[in-house]
Amino acid sequence: MPDPATLGKCNFTRGRSPPPQPPLLCRWKKKRREEKKKKKKKKMKGERRERDEEAQRRIRGRVVLDVTKGLTGRNITCDNFFTSYELAQRLLLERNNTLLGTIRKNKPELPDALLALRGRRVLSSKFAFTRDTALVSYLAKKNKNVLLLSTFHTRTADVVGRRQRADNKPAVILDYNSNKGGVDNLDKVVATYSCRRMTARWPLAVFHNILDVSSYNAFVIWRELNPDWLPGKRNKRRVFLEQLGKALVAPLIERRTRLPRAEAAAAVVKTHRLAAGGGGGGGGGGCSGSGGVTTTPALPPPPPPPPSSSAAAATSTTPVNPPLPASKRKRCQVCPSKKDCKTQNVCRGCEKYICRGCALLYCPACANYFCSSSERGSV
């Protein structure tokens, strides 16, 4: 007899739906599927991490080899980001250079005896030696293990030998601190006056660091060549950086063909051009027929301070009109363009659009005095 479930109006055989499974069996199968997925993800993540670590290890070793290219018979001190047993052996065998540096705890070449901290006293040390390499484990604080690798200290006396110190630091750590102390001090000094800005681009961060280190090196050289410069001053580096920045910017300011729109920046450009003897420069920025920069005659000296209100009133009593209202609104020609400040007021002297924030308020006496002084200077 055919199964009633397979009979119907259609001419093909219909399959029977699977019978419902018990709830416990469904949960067990679902749990097994989830465990398989987790194991697969963990395996893939571990393989990816191993590949990344191998690539980073190669990059770190290549950086040290590139920086020390052409050097032989030297000792190289580095931190735990670069130090590895493989790199130390390559430097020693290929270039006759020794390596001294801290090493991370996850390196496979480290013995378990140096990593164990149970039962060790604070300020105690453990050592491990091969024919050309030494490993040191120093317990600086409780549960704080400092590991160092050195191919420079090959003899036991060189590694274990201590000076009369209360912290019982081995000679390896003392030599490491003496070499790396200069780097830490440079980082601390550079952080005092730095040109770094927040950025997400690593080339710009490297460029900022180059500027900071170069400026400090220039300050050290300048101080050695001029020992009598600013005697008794405690802000020598700040003054040096200010003068260095102005000296670097001044040639570029003098080469500008167009005055900036901001009044303060334009005044700085005019001052530098006057000091260089090239005139104040034109606001339009056009070039002359010979290809040179269009310049204007030197500005007259600033007027003397205004007299008292009574004297000014006796000199002239003509009222001063406010700025002229324009027919349409335009952007203020004194404010920075990013402010986008619209105004209808126009200056009566130069006919520039100027907003209320940039306009200066004078009483009639002072305004008449300044107007008369400017007329006398122009004549």
3-state secondary structure of 91: helix
Q: Give one DSSP letter per residue of 54-68, joined into a string.
A: HHHHHHHHHHHHHHT
Mean pLDDT of all residues in 341-369: 82
Average pLDDT value for the chain: 79
Length of the chain: 379
Q: Using DSSP bridges, classify how beta strands 98-102 and 75-78 pair: parallel, antiparallel or unpaired.
A: parallel
Separation CA 277–CA 274 (nearest Å): 5
Please report the pLDDT score of residue 260 as a whole number. Answer: 81
Tokens 């100027």 locate to: 354
Separation CA 56–CA 51 (nearest Å): 9
User: Is the C-alpha dihedral spanning 100, 105, 111, 114 positive or negative?
Assistant: positive
Tell whether the model's pLDDT for residue 162 goes beyond 80.
no
- Split at pLDDT 50, 70, 90, the class of 379 is very low
Tens-place pLDDT, residues 55-104: 777 888 889 999 999 999 999 999 999 999 999 999 999 999 999 999 99
Report the 10 Å Cβ neighbour count for 191.
10
Closest CA relative to residue 70, chosen from 31, 44, 33, 96: 96
Tell whether the model's pLDDT for residue 250 goes beyond 60.
yes
Separation CA 220–CA 189 (nearest Å): 12
Please report the pLDDT score of residue 371 as a whole number. Answer: 65
Tell whether the model's pLDDT for residue 361 goes beyond 90.
no
For residue 345, what are its two tokens?
């007021």
For residue 237, give Cα distances in angstroms to 213, 216, 227, 351: 13, 8, 13, 45
Tens-place pLDDT, residues 335-350: 888 888 888 888 877 8
Tell whether the model's pLDDT for residue 1 goes beyond 70.
no
Q: Which of 113-122, 135-144, 325-334 has the lowest mean pLDDT?
A: 325-334
- Split at pLDDT 50, 70, 90, the class of 287 is very low
Please report the pLDDT score of residue 295 as a whole number. Answer: 40
